[in-house]
Amino acid sequence: MPLTKRVAFDVYVADYPAMAHFLWGLTPAMEALTGAALLPTYNYFRLYKQNDVCRVHSDRSACEHSLSLTLGYSDDRIWPFQVGREPIAEAGGIDDDFGDAPHASIAMAAGDAVIYRGVTHRHGRTTPNPNRWSAHMFLHWVDRDGPHKDHAFDARGAVGAPVDFQL
Protein backbone atom coordinates (compact mmCIF):
# COMPACT_ATOMS: atom_id res chain seq x y z
CA MET A 1 0.00 0.00 0.00
CA PRO A 2 1.47 3.42 -0.89
CA LEU A 3 1.85 6.16 1.73
CA THR A 4 -0.36 8.54 -0.24
CA LYS A 5 -3.48 7.79 -2.27
CA ARG A 6 -2.31 10.13 -5.04
CA VAL A 7 1.13 10.77 -6.43
CA ALA A 8 2.84 13.61 -4.57
CA PHE A 9 5.49 15.89 -6.00
CA ASP A 10 8.83 14.86 -4.45
CA VAL A 11 12.38 16.13 -4.92
CA TYR A 12 15.10 13.94 -3.38
CA VAL A 13 18.65 15.00 -2.50
CA ALA A 14 19.99 12.33 -4.89
CA ASP A 15 18.15 14.10 -7.72
CA TYR A 16 19.04 17.63 -6.58
CA PRO A 17 22.33 17.48 -4.63
CA ALA A 18 22.11 21.13 -3.55
CA MET A 19 19.55 19.96 -0.99
CA ALA A 20 22.42 18.30 0.90
CA HIS A 21 23.16 21.76 2.32
CA PHE A 22 20.06 21.41 4.50
CA LEU A 23 21.33 18.10 5.90
CA TRP A 24 24.84 19.35 6.60
CA GLY A 25 23.60 22.69 7.90
CA LEU A 26 21.16 21.14 10.36
CA THR A 27 23.43 18.31 11.54
CA PRO A 28 25.02 20.27 14.43
CA ALA A 29 21.58 21.35 15.70
CA MET A 30 20.26 17.80 15.44
CA GLU A 31 23.29 16.50 17.34
CA ALA A 32 22.68 19.04 20.10
CA LEU A 33 18.97 18.19 20.30
CA THR A 34 19.39 14.40 20.19
CA GLY A 35 22.61 14.18 22.19
CA ALA A 36 24.04 11.82 19.55
CA ALA A 37 26.90 12.08 17.06
CA LEU A 38 25.07 11.89 13.73
CA LEU A 39 25.73 11.33 10.05
CA PRO A 40 23.28 12.58 7.43
CA THR A 41 21.49 10.03 5.26
CA TYR A 42 19.09 11.84 2.93
CA ASN A 43 16.35 14.42 2.70
CA TYR A 44 13.52 15.25 0.38
CA PHE A 45 10.94 17.93 -0.35
CA ARG A 46 7.29 16.96 -0.79
CA LEU A 47 4.32 18.98 -1.95
CA TYR A 48 0.98 17.57 -0.78
CA LYS A 49 -2.32 18.53 -2.40
CA GLN A 50 -5.67 19.28 -0.81
CA ASN A 51 -7.27 16.24 0.87
CA ASP A 52 -4.03 14.21 0.74
CA VAL A 53 -3.17 12.06 3.72
CA CYS A 54 0.09 10.36 4.63
CA ARG A 55 -0.72 6.91 5.93
CA VAL A 56 0.73 5.69 9.21
CA HIS A 57 4.10 4.00 8.73
CA SER A 58 7.61 3.56 10.11
CA ASP A 59 10.70 4.37 8.09
CA ARG A 60 13.65 2.40 6.79
CA SER A 61 16.98 2.16 8.63
CA ALA A 62 18.33 5.39 7.09
CA CYS A 63 15.79 7.34 9.17
CA GLU A 64 17.06 6.64 12.68
CA HIS A 65 16.68 10.34 13.58
CA SER A 66 14.13 12.25 11.53
CA LEU A 67 13.01 15.84 11.25
CA SER A 68 9.74 16.81 9.63
CA LEU A 69 9.69 20.50 8.68
CA THR A 70 6.55 22.29 7.51
CA LEU A 71 7.65 24.93 5.01
CA GLY A 72 4.30 26.46 4.10
CA TYR A 73 0.57 26.15 3.58
CA SER A 74 -1.32 27.78 0.71
CA ASP A 75 -4.24 28.69 2.97
CA ASP A 76 -2.48 28.84 6.37
CA ARG A 77 -4.60 25.98 7.73
CA ILE A 78 -2.74 23.80 10.22
CA TRP A 79 -2.33 20.18 9.13
CA PRO A 80 -1.38 18.05 12.15
CA PHE A 81 1.41 15.49 12.20
CA GLN A 82 0.83 12.34 14.25
CA VAL A 83 3.50 10.17 15.84
CA GLY A 84 3.23 7.04 17.96
CA ARG A 85 3.99 7.52 21.64
CA GLU A 86 5.63 4.13 22.09
CA PRO A 87 8.46 2.57 20.08
CA ILE A 88 7.65 -0.42 17.91
CA ALA A 89 9.68 -3.62 18.10
CA GLU A 90 9.84 -4.12 14.34
CA ALA A 91 8.78 -2.22 11.25
CA GLY A 92 5.06 -2.29 10.75
CA GLY A 93 3.03 -2.05 7.61
CA ILE A 94 1.22 0.94 6.23
CA ASP A 95 -2.17 1.70 7.79
CA ASP A 96 -4.87 4.34 7.48
CA ASP A 97 -4.72 5.11 11.21
CA PHE A 98 -3.04 4.16 14.47
CA GLY A 99 -5.78 1.78 15.57
CA ASP A 100 -5.60 1.48 19.37
CA ALA A 101 -1.93 2.52 19.57
CA PRO A 102 -1.36 5.70 21.62
CA HIS A 103 -0.15 8.62 19.54
CA ALA A 104 0.28 12.37 19.68
CA SER A 105 -1.18 14.84 17.22
CA ILE A 106 1.07 17.86 16.74
CA ALA A 107 -0.31 21.05 15.20
CA MET A 108 2.44 22.35 12.92
CA ALA A 109 2.43 25.89 11.58
CA ALA A 110 4.68 26.92 8.72
CA GLY A 111 8.25 26.91 10.03
CA ASP A 112 7.57 24.30 12.73
CA ALA A 113 9.58 21.10 12.93
CA VAL A 114 9.18 17.81 14.79
CA ILE A 115 12.07 15.49 15.64
CA TYR A 116 11.27 11.80 16.04
CA ARG A 117 12.78 8.35 15.61
CA GLY A 118 11.43 7.40 12.19
CA VAL A 119 12.57 3.77 12.43
CA THR A 120 10.96 3.03 15.79
CA HIS A 121 7.96 5.39 15.91
CA ARG A 122 5.09 5.08 13.47
CA HIS A 123 3.94 8.41 12.08
CA GLY A 124 1.79 10.06 9.43
CA ARG A 125 -0.86 12.67 8.74
CA THR A 126 -4.20 10.89 8.97
CA THR A 127 -6.53 13.83 8.53
CA PRO A 128 -6.96 15.22 5.00
CA ASN A 129 -4.82 18.24 4.11
CA PRO A 130 -7.14 21.27 4.46
CA ASN A 131 -5.00 23.47 2.18
CA ARG A 132 -4.86 23.65 -1.60
CA TRP A 133 -1.22 22.58 -1.10
CA SER A 134 1.33 22.24 1.66
CA ALA A 135 5.12 22.09 1.38
CA HIS A 136 7.33 19.95 3.63
CA MET A 137 10.93 18.83 3.97
CA PHE A 138 11.93 15.57 5.59
CA LEU A 139 15.52 15.14 6.78
CA HIS A 140 17.16 12.01 8.16
CA TRP A 141 20.30 10.99 10.08
CA VAL A 142 21.83 7.91 11.69
CA ASP A 143 24.01 7.54 14.79
CA ARG A 144 27.65 7.78 13.73
CA ASP A 145 28.51 4.64 15.72
CA GLY A 146 25.05 3.04 15.82
CA PRO A 147 23.50 -0.05 14.25
CA HIS A 148 22.41 1.84 11.12
CA LYS A 149 25.67 3.72 10.44
CA ASP A 150 26.07 1.87 7.12
CA HIS A 151 23.10 3.90 5.86
CA ALA A 152 24.99 7.19 6.20
CA PHE A 153 24.67 9.27 3.03
CA ASP A 154 22.01 6.76 2.00
CA ALA A 155 24.78 4.33 0.97
CA ARG A 156 24.79 6.03 -2.45
CA GLY A 157 28.36 7.17 -2.78
CA ALA A 158 28.11 9.78 -0.04
CA VAL A 159 25.77 12.40 -1.49
CA GLY A 160 27.08 15.68 -0.19
CA ALA A 161 29.83 14.05 1.87
CA PRO A 162 33.31 15.52 1.93
CA VAL A 163 35.55 13.94 -0.68
CA ASP A 164 37.90 12.47 1.93
CA PHE A 165 35.14 11.22 4.27
CA GLN A 166 35.28 7.61 5.37
CA LEU A 167 33.17 5.64 7.84
Does the pLDDT of residue 161 top 60, yes or no? no
pLDDT, tens digit (0-9, with 9 covering 90-100), for 113-155: 999 999 999 999 999 999 999 999 999 999 999 999 999 988 6
Residue pair 50/131 in contact (Cβ under 8 Å)? The answer is yes
Compute the CA torsion angle 125, 127, 132, 134 (nearest 10 deg).
Answer: -20
pLDDT band at 60 (very low <50, low <70, confident <90, very high): very high
CATH code of 9-135, in short, is 2.60.120
Give the lowest-confidence range in 40-44, 68-72, 78-82, 89-93: 89-93
Does the pLDDT of residue 157 top 80, yes or no? no
pTM of the predicted model as reported, rounded to 2 decimal places: 0.89
